[in-house]
Structure 1
Amino acid sequence: MVPDARFSSYYGRPVLNTPTWKPLDIAGYLYLGGLAGASSLLAAGADLTGRPALARTAKLGAAGAISLSLAALVHDLGRPARFLNMLRVLKPTSPMSMGSWLLAGYAPLTLAAAAGEVTGRYRLVGSAATAGAAVLGPAVATYTAVLVSDTAVPAWHEGYRQLPFVFAGSAATAAAGLALAAAPAGQAGPARRMAVLGTALELGAFHLMKHRMGLPAEAYERGRPRTLLRAAEALTASGAALALVCGRLRDRRPALAAGAALLSGSAALRFGVFHAGVASAEDPRYTVLPQRERLAARGS
């Protein structure tokens, strides 16, 4: 009996260098950036529709989330100067360069909007900052998907078409979760709708991505990524279902539970995607076999 062949690379070494990013820092950076960007959109909508408590929650949430996100990024880089060095050049073809400039413009706007909300002064400046943050918010929520997809990591690169939509939906559920947990039920209508729409976008785009990416989709179905992503689906779906009914209830506990589930589900998705990417880089099958399939398809 001939044993089953096992795929290996030259000298058993990985084909790709495994990402050296710290999981807690970079996965947290991905999550908090999404929460901030979607919260800025929610804040602007709340201002326009006369929901001051919801606007306050979203503005403070956006400012806090983007500050923590930048702190996580700088901690991974090792020195603040390394982030500042990325601002020396503006390169439109580089997601990292564009993302650095995007954060440099977005973070001060969220802080100005939050400061105006807390102090009650300079309302015009605060409103302008809120509007500016809302314009940049969608890009902040999704550019990290473009950033990781631009690498050679198979589980990220092969999903480059759908991953921005996955991150957009995940950002929406996180922002909705924060609003549901902290804002009064009477003003949280937009957050409830955002929770449902974000859940549909996140889960739909994620399943489509796995279906279309071929072999590297296995990385999402094994080990730690599988556990995290199954938890993300359960938490996000249950949080959206609770969000649909909690608006009719006077009890705050269902809204708090919905908010916690949505926030946790969004975090679990980002961490699951991160760990799946690392796992796919460690296994040469996910790099070499799809390349061979593409070459064979071109030859035929």
Structure 2
Amino acid sequence: MSTSGVGKDGMHGERPGREAQVGKGPQRRGRKRGRHRGEKAMVPDAEFTSYYGRPILNPPVWKASDVAAYFFLGGLAGAGSVLAAGAHRTGRPVAARALKISSLAALGGSTAALIHDLGRPERFVNMLRVMKPTSPMSMGSWLLVAYGPAVGAAAVLDVTGLFPRLGGAATAGAAALGPSVCTYTAVLAADTAVPAWHEAHRELPFVFAASAVAAASGMALVTAPPRETGPMRTAAALGAALELAAAKILEHRAGLAAEPYKKGKAGRFVRAGEILSVAGAAGGVLLGGRGRAAAALSGAALLAGSACTRFGVFHAGTQSARDPRYTVIPQRERLRAAAG
């Protein structure tokens, strides 16, 4: 118990060091004020979690066997029409015919996959009831309606030899629509709220276009004689290089949303696509002109690499939709950037 007090003559019985000092708070022994560099925080950084760990977005209900195949086959058809027109104009009839037939077959497979995913064929017809320029699905449906007759006429008239001028016009028309057929599926995916697709809306069309060129070039190496595939071998190398470059830019720009492309099932498909595309392009350039077997093997690798890329993109989207971090954190970063 303290015996200090206050009298007429001042304090008496006080204890040294116990008087209050203005502007100074309590000091702790053995600890200096302030934080030192390298000192660990006592409270760990907070980690984001959603309500009961539930996804914020519903993952896509599309089946990979339908929609990823739809992506791949549509790209193969569109790029094949462009290469077919080039082969037709430069006097490579066997390669041109093979690419026209393969484009028609790929379009048929792509349409079948889309209708199978829709569940009932009349749902595809219902999408043609209106034309909505702001809807990638609506414009893609009308694009297929215009592209289908052109690619079909180009293939049928080339095989039968009937109406060569009309066949040439159909070939040119299919080639004009081919680039849009290659890339509109990327726009369709990026227009959704799925983080891995939406955050990559600038790069995804370039990935799809380059992958489609590599696939169509691979189809030419498989089906055409080596003497007519010189330009296709060059296109295969360019397509594979552009696909890899666009994928790396995507990983850099998309930030956290690019993480699903490197992990899980999506990561395995993407890595397999890169390896097969590089191997196919290298084999096509170095060995594709020496023999049919080497050319066919290189072409098969290019086709498989393009398919793996499309399946990787599909699975990256479903993985990102299941994890709420990929939805909320990019939104917060955009809000902070807008506020700054």
TM interval, short-chain normalised: over 0.9
Is the CA contact 1:26–1:72 (under 8 Å) kept in the aligned structure 2? yes
Match of 2:243 among 181, 202, 208: 202
Greater relative contact order (Cα < 8 A, sep 6+): 1
Q: Which residue of 2 aligns with 1:112?
A: 153
Q: Which residue of 1 aligns with 2:294?
A: 254
Match of 1:93 among 125, 134, 151: 134
Q: Which residue of 2 aligns with 1:227?
A: 268
Q: Which residue of 2 aligns with 1:31?
A: 72
Q: Which residue of 2 aligns with 1:273?
A: 313
Distance 1:88 1:247, change over 3 A: same
Q: Which amino acid aligns with 2:316?
A: A
Deviates more, 1:3-12 or 1:80-89: 3-12
Structure 1 residue 245: Cα displacement? 1.4
Match of 2:227 among 167, 186, 196: 186
Larger radius of gyration: 2
Match of 2:98 among 57, 60, 79: 57
Q: Which amino acid aligns with 1:237?
A: V
Calculate percent identity across the aligned residue pairs.
61
C-alpha distance in 1, partners of 2:166/2:125? 26
Write out per-residue CA displacement over residues 170-214 of structure 1, whole angstroms, 9 at most, x where no aligned residue. 000000000001100000012101101111111100110111100
C-alpha distance in 2, partners of 1:298/1:169? 33
C-alpha distance in 1, partners of 2:172/2:337? 48
Deviates more, 1:2-11 or 1:123-132: 2-11
Q: Which residue of 2 aligns with 1:297?
A: 337
Q: Which residue of 2 aligns with 1:68?
A: 109
C-alpha distance in 1, partners of 2:73/2:321? 24
In structure 2, stretches of 5+ residues that fail to align are 1-41
Is the CA contact 2:179–2:209 (under 8 Å) kept in the aligned structure 1? yes
Is the CA contact 1:113–1:126 (under 8 Å) kept in the aligned structure 2? yes
C-alpha distance in 2, partners of 1:244/1:204? 19
In structure 1, stretches of 5+ residues that fail to align are none
Q: Which residue of 2 aligns with 1:244?
A: 285
C-alpha distance in 1, partners of 2:297/2:197? 31
SS of 1:90's equivalent?
coil
Structure 1 residue 3: Cα displacement? 7.9
Q: Which amino acid aligns with 2:194?
A: V
Q: Which residue of 2 aligns with 1:146?
A: 187
Normalized per residue, which structure has more helix? 1
C-alpha distance in 2, partners of 1:148/1:62? 22
C-alpha distance in 2, partners of 1:145/1:95? 9
C-alpha distance in 1, partners of 2:289/2:253? 39
SS of 1:87's equivalent?
coil
Structure 1 residue 14: Cα displacement? 1.0
C-alpha distance in 2, partners of 1:142/1:55? 22
**TM-score when scaled to structure 2?**
0.86
SS of 1:88's equivalent?
coil
Structure 1 residue 298: Cα displacement? 1.9
Deviates more, 1:77-86 or 1:7-16: 7-16
Is the CA contact 1:186–1:247 (under 8 Å) kept in the aligned structure 2? no
C-alpha distance in 2, partners of 1:5/1:296? 18
Task: Please provide the CA RMSD for this pair.
Answer: 1.3
Is the CA contact 2:82–2:175 (under 8 Å) kept in the aligned structure 1? yes
Write out per-residue CA displacement over residues 9-48 of structure 1, whole angstroms, 9 at most, x where no aligned residue. 1232211111111111000000000000000001100110
C-alpha distance in 2, partners of 1:97/1:2? 52
Q: Which residue of 1 aligns with 2:83?
A: 42
